Amino acid sequence: MAEAKRILLEGGAVAFPTETVYGLGADARSDAAVENIYRIKGRPQDNPLIVHVHLNFDLNSLVYDDKPYAKVLRQTFLPGPLTLVYRSKGRVSSRVSCGLDTLAVRVPSHPGAQEFLRYVNLPIAAPSANISKHVSPVSAEHVYFDLNGKIPLILDGGASSGGIESTVCDVTGEYPVILRQGLVSREMIEKAVGRCEVYVPKEGEQVRSPGMKYKHYAPKCKTRLFDDPKAAVAAFEEEKKQGGRVYILCESKYATLFPSEYVLDLGTTPEDMAARLYSLLRQGEKVADIILAVRPQETGGVMAGVLNRMNKACAGE
């Protein structure tokens, strides 16, 4: 912790665990420290970062917290995998929000993350600790694989239990609008505050969450996504015939359609699938020329976030 704090105060970056994915943190007040993060990741310059703080951090020092429903969301879901986008007071580096007048703030629930954030007592700008566009890391080992030699320290807090990135929710308007789906679902937010919409960019409109426009979360091998398990079986057999190293990513109920040694099994519940997805993609890319993914059947709740990540990992096919 002491070493992490020293590195951060010198403008460096440190990887730390959260309950969603590992973060690559830097002092959000420093232009140079924040720029360093973009450089390490190879991240597009127009994709803003989330500021991470501990539970007792004074939010009013960073943002205008003027919506009563936002308070309810905080009380209901924080600490936890929900990022809230507020109007910014401009107290952190302008590089954090890439010129937007808003600031995304997150209070992670992982005990190691809380301990780290309390210890350094700084607003920490942190994207996921992967090379830009690769699958997000859910263990210290994943961070090491992507960033070995590029950062001086990884705080190892074990496997991230949630497995997909936080829900990003805009709280500047009349009602909450989800910009990125995640483990806090639209249904959960509706239950807490009555109304919640999921943002869908309109044709030609500038997207409100710039991260949405990039290909993301992709493994290094080829991928294909199937709606129909039977079509995946046919494609599997065809790939095998060609001598390709082919693996299947699917929920447990389809696993029996394939030889078990080639199955990356997502499990049965949406929470299982969120927790396993990125590990399985990272495991798969090491051994496969191609991963054939079968889209799970369920769609609502937490599954919306899982499907969003599966679509992005298999973008284009």
DSSP state of 213: G
Partner from Mg ion, ligand TXA, none contacting 137, C-beta within 5 to 8 A by type: none
Cβ neighbours around 116 below 10 Å, total? 26
Query: Distances from the Cα of 61 to the Cαs of 56, 64, 226, in angstroms?
Result: 12, 8, 47
Structure tokens at 46: 């127009």
Of the candidates 196, 273, 289, the one whose C-alpha atom is nearest the C-alpha of residue 236 is 289
Q: How far is the CB of 131 from ligand TXA (least distance, A)?
A: 12
Q: How far is the CB of 42 from ligand TXA (least distance, A)?
A: 13
String marking each residue 122-161 x if it binds Mg ion according to CB under 5 A: ------x---------------------------------
Of 169 and 246, CB closest to ligand TXA: 169
**Which residues contact ligand TXA (rule: CB under 6 A)?**
18, 20-21, 23, 47-50, 83, 85, 97, 100, 102-104, 106, 108, 126-128, 165-166, 168, 179-180, 208-211
Of 23 and 296, CB closest to Mg ion: 23
Q: Can you tell me the distance from the alpha carbon of 170 to that of 88, in angstroms, rounded to the nearest whole number?
A: 12
SS3 51: strand
- Is residue 308 a contact point for Mg ion (CB under 5 A)? no
Q: How far is the CB of 234 from ligand TXA (least distance, A)?
A: 36
Give, for 211, the enclosing helix (H) or strand (E).
none
Q: How far is the CB of 100 from ligand TXA (least distance, A)?
A: 5
Of 64 and 199, CB closest to Mg ion: 199
Q: How far is the CB of 130 from Mg ion (least distance, A)?
A: 7
Q: Residue with the closest Cβ to ligand TXA? A: 211
Q: Can you tell me the distance from the alpha carbon of 270 to that of 302, in angstroms, rounded to the nearest whole number?
A: 6
* Contact (Cβ atoms closer than 8 angstroms) between residue 83 and residue 147: no
Structure tokens at 285: 């890319």
Q: How far is the CB of 226 from ligand TXA (least distance, A)?
A: 27
String marking each residue 50-89 x if it binds Mg ion according to CB under 5 A: ----------------------------------------
Q: Any bridge partners for residue 167, and if so which?
A: 82
Partner from Mg ion, ligand TXA, none contacting 106, C-beta within 5 to 8 A by type: ligand TXA
Of 141 and 289, CB closest to ligand TXA: 141
Q: How far is the CB of 60 from Mg ion (least distance, A)?
A: 27
Region for 90 from its dihedrals, namely left if φ exceeds 0, alpha if ψ lies in -120 to 50, beta otherwise: left
Of 47 and 283, CB closest to Mg ion: 47
* Burial (CB count <10 Å: 0-12, 13-18, 19+), residue 141: middle
Q: How many residues bind Mg ion (CB under 5 A)?
A: 1
Of 15 and 288, CB closest to ligand TXA: 15
SS3 160: coil
Chain centroid to CA 258: how far?
Answer: 30
Residue 145 amino acid letter: F
The binding site for Mg ion (CB under 5 A) comprises: 128
